[in-house]
Chain A
Amino acid sequence: MSGPSTYQPTNPALQWIEKRLPIIGLVHSSFVAYPTPRNLNYWWTFGGILSFMLGVQIVTGVILAMHYTPHVDMAFNSVESIVRDVNYGWLLRYLHSNGASMFFIAVYIHMLRGLYYGSYKAPREILWILGVIIYLLMMATGFMGYVLPWGQMSFWGATVITNLFSAIPYVGESIVTLLWGGYSVGNPTLNRFFSLHYLLPFVIAGVVVLHVWALHVAGQNNPAGVEPKTEKDTVPFTPYATIKDGFGMVCFMIFYAWFVFYIPNYLGDPDNYIMANPGVTPAHIVPEWYYLPFYAILRSIPSKLGGVIAMFSAIIVLAFLPWLDTAKTKSSKYRPLAKQFFWMFVVVAVLLGWLGGKPAEGIYIIAGRVLTFCYFAYFLIVLPILSRIETPRAIPNSIADDVLAKYGKKAVSAIVALVLAGGLMAGGTQKAEAADEHGGPTPPSLSWSFWGPVGKFDRGALQRGYKVYKEVCSTCHSMNLLHFRNLADEGGPGFTAAQAQAVASEIKVQDGPNDAGDMFERPGRLADPFPKPFPNENAARAANGGAYPPDLSLMAKARNYDRGFPQFVFDFFTQFQEKGPNYIDALLQGYVDPAPKDFALPQGAYYNKYFPGHAIKMPKPISDDQVTYDDGTPQKVENYAKDVATFLMWTAEPHLEARKRLGLQVMVFLIIFAFLMYFTKKKVWANAH
């Protein structure tokens, strides 16, 4: 994209095209002949990774839109039917939802790389500002995408974020009404968010083209921060940068696949597996992780308008960076002070993110204010002052000199990183075991057959769990997302189609109207959903002392308890995803009668050790010998609880086995591919050294 191309195709057909539309020359000059500094490190591969992620998000997004229904009554269930019924729907959905997080991880690394190596300095100011615009667009897109599944967090996130605009004096309220298309977040809001969520990625793609254009005009920055002078300083983009970016991309894909196949809900909020309810706010509203630092800044300012201004300024300030930091030396490698402050800034940003996920109370508020000050101080005080007082170290004469100077240092840092990751992993396993012994108010971590990379459901437990559900739970709780046909699904309780049909025909389903206009009853079919215990919510409340027994379909993914820091870091390595079943199991065994003396139990409630707040409206649902087990398993509450928790894990994640099976294949493939790419990259680069 820089200047007229000198590329001349030899093929006459291509020449004919080239004369009329010099597109091959454009591609050739931008992605083949384009000279890239030869000293780029792996932090520079994130640009390519980001383009790849944008592509993944657009492709999976377009496909999800083929199956999604943007309507308040149907959105939640349509997402669930994508995951349950559409071929590979679970894969596409998890690729898209985790893809958003991967996109942000990559963009944060990309931005910090720019910050560290001074990539925003002349002549790359516009390149940098275009990047900030892309980042803003990404935030808007990510936010609107999060609203679409129409879970509790979707709804309340939408409410809270759109209400930010109500802080604007005089016109705030009208703007919010305009955004909503109503007097609260509702169907018009969902529809416009869907439309915009589909549009914005293409706008991002457009700005990315400008970003790449500006990049190819100004040329890439590099770790030394000196501009290329001679031909010795650069290598052609293809094959050198392509293969290196390719290797970086494959490594990133392994990381991505780890989330998609093994811990797909690790970064999500369990509350979003509960359908949006405008009448109930979740106890603790948190945005997606990638907004947390800004959310923390918002909350740390004790004024509505001030908080909103601070939050937006925290992003906008980035655009002014080229003029805040006027130091001549680009790379922090040669700026001893700037380097230290850079790492302090990273710590401040991470801590702000951590605070954003904490309740806004006590010490957290103070810490939030201090860190907010530090965040702005870095840009507005530290960088301007440093550019005036700091004496930088001598920068290398040329890129070629830089390459010669540090050849061979890379391997050492890679080994250090590997050892660190390994240590973390080992630490993770130990911690997980330690947590087993410690019960208390957090549910004990049980061992589940479906845990881990090759986990599978225990068929016997699923069948027993179904029996318990059918004889006990189903008298009060609905199971809206399950159909009789699911009982015969692969990876499920292992019923044959005939057995599932027999179960279905035990119930009567209302159908009709027939020719005479009357409703009639017929035996259930495989395609019918599980029967509901009550015709509607009011009937359910009336029969249950005012409490509404929640639907159980997604219960095992919708319940949560705090694992705390650093436990949640280890959970990443140990693939811990079993909070829901642990909680269900603990809850069913957690009834204490009579309640502890000092606890004031409300009328009509029961004391449960594990229920948040301890006063639960559900009476102890099951006791020993209540359900007959035919396979000799002891008829103890302990076993009932574990079996029903297993069953509910299956109803919440019916394709768990398929996911882990495919995950293993993908992992093996990607690791082999990564090795091949690594050696190919080495061979290609051997010529350049």
Chain B
Amino acid sequence: MTTTSSAEHTRRDFLFVATGAVAAVGAAAAVWPLISQMNPDASTIAAGAPIEVDLAPIAEGQDIKVFWRGKPIYIMNRTKKQIDEARAVPVASLPDPQTDQARVKEGHDQWLVVIGICTHLGCIPIAHEGNYDGFFCPCHGSQYDSSGRIRQGPAPLNLPIPPYAFVSDSKIKIG
């Protein structure tokens, strides 16, 4: 083989590789919109904006369920007894150790705000049921205490706390 023909060869190979590479880049770029369309659309994102909840109507020992981003949020006005129980348990003995203080806002200790979705497989636990004065999940029997922490059953984690803040003493903003 002469030098010219091998140079010709490299040039040809380069052309083939370049064409193939550009085709691959194009195909990859074309897939992006097809995947991206599955994410929440603009109206869903806008509808997921923060909401305000008035706490005044919730009496001690009562709870309400509100929806934010399609998720049920339990807002519980806990009794003295419930708070004491939650704080009495040794944190180290819990499956997902967390103090009660870390799960409520300081100065508003009676208010427990949790996302009411069982951390096992997503059922909705029932408030004021189970052995720990908290929540009981009917699906597979997970039990949460009055701080929403997992105490017994297959669920691995405590009920999550949504982002929220007190706007005033009787109003919170979730989100």
Contacts and interface: CB of A to CB of B under 8 A. Distances in A.
Nearest to A680: B19
B91 interface: no
Interface string B30-59: 000110111101111011010000000100
A679 B15 contact: yes
A559 B56 CA distance: 53
Contacts of B38: 66
Interface string B56-93: 01000000000000000000000000000000000000
Contacts of B43: 81, 85, 483, 527
A526 B46 contact: yes
B16 A680 contact: yes
A676 interface: yes
Contacts of A485: 42, 46
A377 B29 CA distance: 50
Contacts of B26: 669-670, 673
A396 to B, nearest CB: 31
A669 B19 CA distance: 12
Contacts of A130: none
Given A680-B15, A680-B16, A525 B42 contact: no
B37 A87 contact: yes
Contacts of A673: 19, 22-23, 26
A68 to B, nearest CB: 12
Contacts of A248: none
Contacts of B34: 59, 63, 92
A87 B15 CA distance: 35
B18 interface: yes
A527 B48 CA distance: 9
Contact of A683 (B15, B29, B36, B57): B15
Nearest to A684: B16
A85 B22 CA distance: 31
B171 interface: no
A183 interface: no
A515 interface: yes
Contact of B42 (A84, A91, A669, A680): A84
Contacts of A301: none
B173 interface: no
B18 A676 contact: yes
Interface in A271-303: none
A643 to B, nearest CB: 25
A91 B33 contact: yes
Contact of A88 (B23, B33, B44): B33
A92 B37 contact: yes
B116 to A, nearest CB: 18
Contacts of A670: 26
B12 interface: yes
A489 B43 CA distance: 12
A85 B40 CA distance: 9
Given A677-B19, A683-B15, A515 B33 contact: no
A135 B42 CA distance: 38
A670 B49 CA distance: 40
A86 B37 contact: yes
A411 B70 CA distance: 63
B16 A527 contact: no
A672 B12 CA distance: 17
B41 A87 contact: yes
A89 B44 CA distance: 14
Nearest to A681: B19
Nearest to A679: B15
B22 A92 contact: no
Interface in A517-576: 525-527
Given A85-B42, A683-B12, 18 more contacts: A66-B37, A85-B44, A86-B42, A87-B33, A87-B37, A87-B41, A88-B36, A91-B33, A515-B57, A527-B49, A669-B22, A669-B29, A670-B26, A673-B19, A673-B23, A673-B26, A676-B15, A676-B22
11 contacts: A67-B41, A81-B43, A87-B33, A87-B39, A527-B46, A673-B26, A676-B19, A677-B19, A679-B19, A680-B15, A683-B12
Interface of B: 12, 15-16, 18-19, 22-23, 26, 29, 33-34, 36-39, 41-44, 46-47, 49, 57
